[in-house]
Amino acid sequence: MAPAERALTCLVTGATGYVGGRLVPELLAAGHRVRVLTRSPRKLRGRPWIGRVEVAEADAADAAAVARACEGVDVVYYLVHSLGSGPEFEATERRTAEVVADASREAGVGRLVFLGGLEPEDEELSPHLRSRTEVARVLLDSGVPTVVLRAAVVLGSGSVSFEMLRYLTERLPVMVTPRWVRSRIQPIAIRDVLRYLVGVATLPPDVHRCFDIGGPDVMDYATMMQRYAEVTGLPRRRILPVPVFTPSLSSHWVGVITPVPAAIARPLVESLRNTVVCEEHDIAQYVPDPPEGLLGFDEAVRLAVLRVRNNAVDTRWTGASVPGAPSDPLPSDPDWAGGSLYLDERTRETDATPDALWRVVEGIGGETGWYSFPLAWEVRGWLDRAVGGVGLRRGRRDPSDLLVGDALDWWRVEELDEGRLLRLRAEMRLPGLAWLEFHVERADSGRTRLRQKATFHPLGLLGQLYWWSVSPFHGIVFGSMIRNITRAAEALGERGTQPRDRAA
């Protein structure tokens, strides 16, 4: 990205999300100063750009905190959303947009930028698109010069739309599909979205409007799946549309086949029934197309697949917290409210070095597995998916490296002290709150010690019954886990590479 003519101070909301996490380094490369707004600054630890930005800790719905974050800012990027957060998500999005709009106006911000969705004419909008339209209206009515970029499907490694497309196509050579696979779509590559987002920061104040943005190809979802198969060398898919799939059934179907849980899949599926095609390309007057043109569908897929295969995915849709995921403090935290608490603590010493043991601990989950009865974990994952949970399919962003905030199968990395501590918080559907911790330390004997602790805070009688129903299996599951982790670390020290054996 070429340096901007004038350095601006940009506030990026949603910096832990898919687009926001990629926008920050692009703005820095363009020579701008960046401030990021986040509820959890620790989730940004380990990002390669964290030392170059200012961090404002605030909830986007907290008017006073947002007002402080907007002080001295030239451009505010509004990239937060409440996708899949429940029936009240439209009202939540409107209130949050109003808070940011008011704070921006009072602080004298020079421009608001919002990435929304395309709005088809003469069609009933899905709740998700209707909400995006309402947020755009709030921002445009704020009294602050505003640019709304309206996009359809965003294609890029790690995007939720790309993951849906990828898994549906790769896992189903023959599929019975809903009618929405015939709706017309104009997808756009993430690199072009980022180029537009950076480019509009320096527009003059009199530019106050919506712009449709899309790539050069218009197709339906069925064609997107066929083109994906062709680009990736898969046989042609057989697609059989049927009219009986409701949005609810479709979202559960997507939730079973792909890593995207039904709560997030439903608003996306509902939006796919709409025709989302650009009506204009006026943005090119202000942010010209690159000499080689906008990235086409085939090339966007090829690049995204290449990054996935090379484990070079910068951000993923899983970086954002799952709607409804627990946010209560760990029971060891000072502000914990108390109540029943169950622990399963195990300790094991090993001749492996602390570095070897840590490498195994940090590489747990995903393709490597959990070192304890793979079938049992798979069954538990399927049960979680069946009730609308995230299951095991989210995998991990990187095969060996973790950051605070990363999704790790049905867990999320809550705390990480490199070489010493990995704490995971459960995001599966449970009648309570659960954590899993690994501590790597030196024992008094001089050997390396692994402390493994599972913590469960039950909610109500159901939570109590849940714990006592599964506790007989803990000796098998958690006992084999700590044993196999230490064995893997010892093997790693001997071989110099991490073993892939997941057997108990």
Alpha-carbon distances, residue 468 vs 60, 65, 380, 426, 462 (angstroms): 40, 43, 16, 18, 10
pLDDT given at position 37: 93
CB 37 within 8 A of CB 15: yes
Beta bridge partners of 434: 456
Residues 300 and 361 in one domain: no
Alpha-carbon distances, residue 24 vs 97, 154, 172, 214 (angstroms): 20, 18, 36, 21
CB 138 within 8 A of CB 94: yes
- Determine how β-strand 111-117 pairs with β-strand 146-151: parallel
CB 10 within 8 A of CB 34: yes
Residues 19 and 149 in one domain: yes
- Residue 318 inside a domain? The answer is no
pLDDT given at position 334: 36
Location of structure tokens 């023959």 = 174
Alpha-carbon distances, residue 152 vs 18, 90, 201, 440 (angstroms): 15, 19, 21, 46
Q: How many domains does the chain have?
A: 2
- Residue 287 inside a domain? The answer is yes
- Residue 331 inside a domain? The answer is no
Residues 73 and 208 in one domain: yes
- Residue 322 inside a domain? The answer is no
- Residue 3 inside a domain? The answer is no
Residues 288 and 347 in one domain: no
Cα-Cα-Cα-Cα torsion 256, 260, 264, 265, nearest 10 degrees, comes to: -60
Residues 23 and 168 in one domain: yes
Residues 153 and 274 in one domain: yes
The CATH number given to whatever domain includes residue 409 is 3.30.530.20
Residues 377 and 293 in one domain: no
* Phi, psi dihedrals of residue 311, rounded to the nearest 5°: 55, 45
Instruction: List, for residues 178-197, the tens digit of each pLDDT value.
Output: 666 778 899 999 999 999 99
Beta bridge partners of 77: 12, 113
Point out the domain boundary residue: 291, 312, 333.
312
Give the single-character DSSP code of 8. Answer: -
Give the residue from 166, 176, 197, 180 showing the smallest Cα distance to 120: 180
Residues 397 and 461 in one domain: yes
Residues of the chain below pLDDT 70: 1-5, 82-89, 178-180, 243-256, 259, 261-271, 311, 316-340, 495-504
Residues 89 and 208 in one domain: yes
The CATH number given to whatever domain includes residue 96 is 3.40.50.720
Beta bridge partners of 117: 151
Residues 356 and 279 in one domain: no
Point out the domain boundary residue: 312, 328, 363.
312
Reading the block at residue 342, the tokens are 């169950």
Structural domain boundaries enclosing 278? 9-312
pLDDT given at position 146: 97
Residues 233 and 367 in one domain: no
- Residue 96 inside a domain? The answer is yes
Residues 361 and 292 in one domain: no
pLDDT given at position 4: 55
- Residue 503 inside a domain? The answer is no
- Residue 1 inside a domain? The answer is no
